[in-house]
Structure 1
Amino acid sequence: MKFAICQELFVDWDWERQCRFIAETGYTGIEVAPFTLGQEPLSLPADQRRQMRDVATDCGLEVVGLHWLLAKTEGLHLTTADAAVRKRTAEYLMGLADLCADLGGDVMVFGSPPQRNLEEGVDHEQAMAHAAEIFTACMPHFADRGVTLCMEPLTTKETDFCNTCADAARLIEMVDHPNIALHQDVKAMLGEETPIPELIDRFSALTRHFHVNDSNLLGPGMGETDYHPIFDALQRSGYDGWVSVEVFDYSPGAEEIARQSLGYMRRILDDVQA
């Protein structure tokens, strides 16, 4: 099991400082939110992409990939009835696949709840078809760049599209390509009726990436969720991908969140492996 952390937590830190601290804390991966790279992340020059990759490598980190793919963008949407917007969205995602690969990553997590919400007049079946169309158009380019797109189910508090692992699995089946997979997130799975260990077991063949957090929006070990059954289920399922900390409440401070989360995860992993 490999531990990473999502870097948007480190607000106003430069890239080198982020990488150095994350590595010194004990993580081996860093996951990037494109909006932290500027207003137009696709315009990031090739030499700057190489430099970021080299800095991470020099610190002993791997760039896991990207998440929050459409955050702080305009004119992009996954489930829209507007064919021109769907085309622009597919093109943007392919541009992000280039950015991801150039940074050294191979996973892109599609969350972005506002950019997937159902528009007026679009029902769920139409929305699924529109999303599948966009993802299908992207897949050849993703395959060329060695990047996997991971669909993230989110709770009904965040979005009205793709709220369960079963919803995401259906969309993945519609796209039917090796470069699309399932992303599981603890906070999101807490909103499902099925217990998290059962969801891990049931969808293990589809799962490519995993985020850890809690219902209080903080990191693992900072809320009420017991991670023993979660890590036990991941171990039993044979999951060998990244376990990446993603939080939404930054109030304890980036350093405290990073240290507490990793320390807790290491203790739980030791327990379930004993």
Structure 2
Amino acid sequence: MRYAICNETFEGWDHARVCQRVAELGYTGLELAPFTLAPRITDVTSARRSELRHRAEAAGVKLIGLHWLLARTEGFHLTSPDAATRRRTGEYLADLAHAAAEVGGDVLVLGSPFQRNLPQGMSPEQGAANALDTLRYCLPALERDRVYLCLEPLTPAETNFMTCAAEAVALAHQLAHPFVRLHLDVKAMSAEAAPAPDVIRANREYLHHFHANDPNTRGPGFGATDFKPIFRALKDVNYTGWVSVEVFDYSPDPDTIARESIRYMRECAAD
């Protein structure tokens, strides 16, 4: 398994310090949230992106890509009824793809629940049609920069659109583009009808990226979820992507989260 962790876990830490510490703990990847860099990814210059990449590489860490793509932004929405908003959102996703490539990564995780919620009165069918329209604006950039857009199902408690793996796969299937794939998250899979290992196996064809966390919003091993069957399922489907730790509860502290999460994951993977 290739282990990564998300950089917003280390709020207040300098980028170089984050890279050095996660490398010491055994991670070889770091996933970036754009809002930790600037209000918009377009505010981050190519020179700064190059600096971020080189500092990570100097520590022995790869910047694997971006997540929380639309979080803390305004004017973007995946399922908007407004054509101009959809185009603007799709073009911003293209900007994000280019930024991911410039820092050395090849993954975009499309979660951002608030920026994809169906507006009041919109049917799921119309929402899917609008999302497809939005995403088509970024497809040329994905192919040009060789970056994978990974659609992330989230729980119904977080959003009313794309709330299970089957819905995300249906969108990817309709787009029929080699750089649009599926992202799975352990916390989000807790809301699926089937157990997480079954969801992994059922969607092996599209699975490209993976977040490790617990339904209690903490890291792997910090809750009741047994990750041994989850890692067994990842092995069964020959998953070779990153297993990236993403938490939402930052207690007790970043160092403990990072250290204990990778210790637990390695223990489970070795089973």
Bin of the TM-score, shorter chain as denominator length: over 0.9
**1:191 aligned partner:** 191
Which aligned pairs between 1:251-270 and structure 2 lie closer than 5 A? 251-270=251-270
**2:180 aligned partner:** 180
Q: Give 1:40 shift.
A: 2.7
3-state SS of 2:109 partner: strand
3-state SS of 1:153 partner: coil
1:124 lines up with 2:124 in the alignment: yes
In the TM superposition, what whole-angstrom CA distance separates every residue of 1:42-90 from its partner, at most 9, and x where no partner exists?
Answer: 1211111111100101100011100000000001000010001001101
3-state SS of 1:88 partner: helix
Structure 2 stretches of 5 or more lacking a match?
A: none
Q: Give 1:251 shift.
A: 1.8
1:217 lines up with 2:217 in the alignment: yes
Whether the aligned pair in 1 keeps the contact of 2:9 and 2:247 (CA below 8 Å) is: yes
Counterpart residue type for residue 122 of structure 1: M
Counterpart residue type for residue 35 of structure 1: F
1:30 lines up with 2:30 in the alignment: yes
Which aligned pairs between 1:121-160 and structure 2 lie closer than 5 A? 121-160=121-160
Q: Give 1:39 shift.
A: 1.6
State the TM-score, normalized to the length of structure 2.
0.99
Q: Give 1:121 shift.
A: 2.8
Whether the aligned pair in 1 keeps the contact of 2:94 and 2:137 (CA below 8 Å) is: no
Comparing 129-138 with 162-171, which one deviates more in the overlay? 129-138
1:76 lines up with 2:76 in the alignment: yes
Q: Give 1:270 shift.
A: 1.2
d(CA) in 1 for partners of 2:238 and 2:66? 23
d(CA) in 2 for partners of 1:150 and 1:40? 20
Whether the aligned pair in 1 keeps the contact of 2:118 and 2:127 (CA below 8 Å) is: yes
**2:46 aligned partner:** 46
Whether the aligned pair in 1 keeps the contact of 2:41 and 2:95 (CA below 8 Å) is: no
d(CA) in 2 for partners of 1:39 and 1:145? 23
Counterpart residue type for residue 45 of structure 2: P
Q: Give 1:122 shift.
A: 1.6
Q: Give 1:91 shift.
A: 1.1
d(CA) in 1 for partners of 2:20 and 2:218? 22
CA-based RMSD? 0.7
d(CA) in 1 for partners of 2:252 and 2:108? 27
d(CA) in 2 for partners of 1:204 and 1:128? 22
**1:64 aligned partner:** 64
Alignment coverage as a number of residue pairs: 271
Whether the aligned pair in 1 keeps the contact of 2:89 and 2:134 (CA below 8 Å) is: yes
1:238 lines up with 2:257 in the alignment: no
d(CA) in 1 for partners of 2:196 and 2:225? 11
**2:163 aligned partner:** 163
Counterpart residue type for residue 267 of structure 2: R
1:229 lines up with 2:265 in the alignment: no
**1:4 aligned partner:** 4
Whether the aligned pair in 2 keeps the contact of 1:89 and 1:134 (CA below 8 Å) is: yes
d(CA) in 2 for partners of 1:160 and 1:265? 31
Counterpart residue type for residue 36 of structure 1: T
d(CA) in 2 for partners of 1:224 and 1:134? 38
d(CA) in 1 for partners of 2:122 and 2:17? 45
Whether the aligned pair in 2 keeps the contact of 1:80 and 1:122 (CA below 8 Å) is: no
Identity fraction in percent:
49
State the TM-score, normalized to the length of structure 1.
0.98
d(CA) in 2 for partners of 1:197 and 1:231? 8
**1:90 aligned partner:** 90
Comparing 116-125 with 234-243, which one deviates more in the overlay? 116-125
Structure 1: 4+ residue segments shifted above 2 A: none
d(CA) in 2 for partners of 1:139 and 1:41? 18
In the TM superposition, what whole-angstrom CA distance separates every residue of 1:129-175 from its partner, at most 9, and x where no partner exists?
Answer: 11111112211111100100000000000000000000001111111
Comparing 116-125 with 70-79, which one deviates more in the overlay? 116-125
